[in-house]
Structure 1
Amino acid sequence: MGLSRRSVLAGTASAAILGGSGARGQAAQFTYKYANNLPVAHPMNTRAQEAVAKIKQESGGRLDIQIFPNNQLGSDTDVLSQLRSGGVEFFTLSPLILSTLVPNASVSGIGFAFPDYASVWKAMDGELGTYVRGQIAKSGIVAMEKIWDNGFRQITTSNKPIQNAADLKGVKLRVPVSPLWTSMFKAFDAAPASINFAEVYTALQTKIVDGQENPLAIISTAKLFEVQKYLSVTNHMWDGFWFLANRRAWERLPDDLRAIAEKNLNEAGMNERADVEKLNAGLRQELAAKGMTINETQPDSFRDALRKAGFYAEWKGKYGEETWAILEKAVGAKLG
């Protein structure tokens, strides 16, 4: 199903709390909750809505998944706790935030590891993704095979553009609740503040922080352009969303329902990847039209700053030789 930027961004109430449509003849055997932190207008919710409708239809109404978007069930850290306890059965989460529970899950977010999308999907659909899913499985959580896309992350600020690494010195920058993000921006001499996504808009509006960093699709759908002036294209890290299930809830499903759910959730993830790529292609122009000043950056200055600060050496030590070797093999380059 092809989506225009307009239809992707429009968003409708049908993608909110409602579960899948169709197949109403039989009462659901299993009613599960799926939570995420993104606005209804984001492609994640559009594609998730399609997936849960297909799952309900193909299961004859036996599996009904209800969607709770936009932090409705709590912040990322709150919902991760709910996922572990079984209060929520499904959750999509960045591997970098998941690293608060599964430390090596964040390896895909190392600064400037991936030069382009081709290298991302080769790694995440290949050995690196398999390795990370294995690490996640040890924590009592099941990750679907296909990781969904969040995108390459860019920096926005209210007070000045970021042209190179030196411009980040002293900048109060919101980062997600994850050690890797904090470590990277400290290496740039910035002042990172860990704030859950639900509170980002307010933190920017009230000047608790000067800026934040996120992919273009989130900057647009969360309307961060209303409280930020400058958009600096850094592509400093790629980020995705693992589609996670509580292991006990997942294993309660009969084999046929697990197969239906897994097939449709992975297919939706692939479609969401294409949506985000298409969306990003036109978003610079749209964000500029909404008043943002957009600038390119000097990527070598950021990489050099990370090397000099010992960032790569530090994280190679934390992840271990085996994990670091899988990452370098996946990206086809030595890091650090």
Structure 2
Amino acid sequence: MLVTLFRRAASAARTLALCGAGLLGAAAAAAAPGPAGAVQGAQASVRELAIADYRSYLAEDHPVRQGMRRFAELVEAGSGGRLRVVLRADALPGTPAQQIAALQAGAPGAPALMLVAATGLAPLAPDFALLDLPYLVQDHAQADALLDGVFGDALLAQLAQLGQARGAGLVGLAWWENGFRQITSTGAPIRSADALRGLRMRVIDAPVFVDTARAMGAEPVPLAFADVHDALRSGRVAAQDNFISQILAGGLHELQASLSITNHSYGALVLVANRGAWRGLDPAHQALVAGAAREAGRFQRDAARAQARQAMAQLARSGMDIHELAPTERDKLRARTAPLRSSRLAQHSPALWKLYQAHPSAR
């Protein structure tokens, strides 16, 4: 019964999306062309949708940029060229919260579509913070099963419901990913759960990440990413956690000797659209964009995992000592963080938590 209700909620959200939101480029023509202007009319009928990521520093071969290109190809091909996705290399100014607020409001310069970290949506819909909980998602197979199923649809549906209530906001289209967070350290790799005890570790400045590090036994030091290099050089912190691609792209391997594969937190991305602008698309194009977003999301997740393997090999060649935490030691960390999961889960939707528990991948 619970699953049926959430399927209906997700279906209703999709229907809402197919009646609603994404910022259209100025290429859309307001007036129909006359017979003498057939060529001009055909050109004017092309509509542009701008897409951006919340980060401006991504290389062109980054999995997110690969996914954006794939999304653009699918939309243009599926629309027969009547829709064109424009890939922006810049990002909206400000913090993630300020970026999301600008996208919601359709502020000047805001794109139609943006990739945002799931954790950034938590102030709007608190259940999006569920995915940040330590060891809630334990591997890629579980991530795919949850996000591509009723659990993921139910989360996206919450954005549609918020927008309907407020008359503005966002439409959640698909799940992409940053991947799993790992730990780098100055000395030897972390080979046991006990090796984390007392380790001064930089974490994202958000309660769930601070509490996770503390529950694992480390001494969390919340810092913005821009401050990580200085903190490592000065010895203020001896470790930090991040995605493998970010460890390489951010040059953290130049300051840290070891990489420990802990998979302690999963970082999901959400492709969202400005709700008011999404309504500028007809239902057929909305369905096309939504389908392309999901297909491109699956493509991007595969690309992210492939690049993580390549990045790990590159980090090893650079001299990093890489160690994958043994399952028994990972189980110890999962047990240590169980009270945190329990206390945080009490703050979230009981129905959503039941969907998670009911899924065969939850163990």
- In which range does the TM-score fall when normalised by the shorter chain? 0.7 to 0.9
User: 2:264 aligns to what SS in structure 1?
Assistant: coil
Tell me the equivalent position of 2:340: 311
Q: Separation in 2 of the partners of 1:230 and 1:259?
A: 46
Tell me the equivalent position of 2:6: none
Aligned ranges for residues 93-112 of structure 1 at < 5 Å? 93-112=116-135
Tell me the equivalent position of 2:254: 226
Q: What letter matches 1:43 in structure 2?
A: P
Change (3 A) 1:215 1:49: same
User: 1:32 aligns to what SS in structure 2?
Assistant: strand
Within the alignment, does 1:299 sit opposite 2:299 as a pair? no
Does the CA-based 8 Å contact 1:91-1:243 persist in structure 2? Answer: yes
Does the CA-based 8 Å contact 1:112-1:236 persist in structure 2? Answer: yes
Q: Please give the per-residue CA displacement for 1:6-30, whole angstroms capped at 9, x wherever unaligned.
A: xxxxxxxxxxxxx9xxxx9724544
Tell me the equivalent position of 1:264: 292
Q: Please give the per-residue CA displacement for 1:47-73, whole angstroms capped at 9, x wherever unaligned.
A: 202322443455465544433347564
Tell me the equivalent position of 2:105: 85
Within the alignment, does 1:45 sit opposite 2:45 as a pair? no
Tell me the equivalent position of 2:204: 176
Tell me the equivalent position of 1:34: 52
Q: Separation in 1 of the partners of 2:149 and 2:357?
A: 13
Tell me the equivalent position of 1:8: none
Percent identical pairs in the alignment equals: 27
Tell me the equivalent position of 1:167: 195
Does the CA-based 8 Å contact 1:114-1:238 persist in structure 2? Answer: yes
Change (3 A) 1:53 1:322: closer
TM-score by length of 2: 0.74
Change (3 A) 1:59 1:320: closer
Aligned ranges for residues 247-258 of structure 1 at < 5 Å? 247-258=275-286
Q: Please give the per-residue CA displacement for 1:34-90, whole angstroms capped at 9, x wherever unaligned.
A: 233261231110220232244345546554443334756444233222222223232
Tell me the equivalent position of 1:7: none
Does the CA-based 8 Å contact 1:114-1:237 persist in structure 2? Answer: yes
Residue 86 (structure 2) aligned to one of 53, 57, 66: 66
Tell me the equivalent position of 2:18: none
Higher relative contact order structure (alpha carbons within 8 Å, sequence separation ≥ 6): 2
Change (3 A) 1:326 1:195: farther
Q: Separation in 2 of the partners of 1:282 and 1:29?
A: 37
User: Is there any run of 5+ residues in structure 2 with no aligned partner, and where?
Assistant: 1-24, 26-39, 163-168
Q: Separation in 1 of the partners of 2:295 and 2:219?
A: 39
- The CA deviation at 1:248 is 1.1
Within the alignment, does 1:134 sit opposite 2:157 as a pair? yes
Does the CA-based 8 Å contact 1:165-1:305 persist in structure 2? Answer: no
Change (3 A) 1:165 1:318: farther
Structure number, greater radius of gyration: 2
User: Is there any run of 5+ residues in structure 1 with no aligned partner, and where?
Assistant: 1-18
- The CA deviation at 1:289 is 0.7
Q: Please give the per-residue CA displacement for 1:279-324, whole angstroms capped at 9, x wherever unaligned.
A: 23343322111121112322122123213xx212211211143232
Number of aligned positions between the proteins: 309
RMSD over aligned Cα atoms = 2.9
Does the CA-based 8 Å contact 2:181-2:243 persist in structure 1? Answer: yes
Change (3 A) 1:35 1:329: same
Q: What letter matches 1:26 in structure 2?
A: Q
User: 2:347 aligns to what SS in structure 1?
Assistant: helix
Within the alignment, does 1:217 sit opposite 2:245 as a pair? yes
User: 1:318 aligns to what SS in structure 2?
Assistant: coil
Does the CA-based 8 Å contact 1:172-1:193 persist in structure 2? Answer: yes
Residue 267 (structure 2) aligned to one of 223, 239, 245: 239
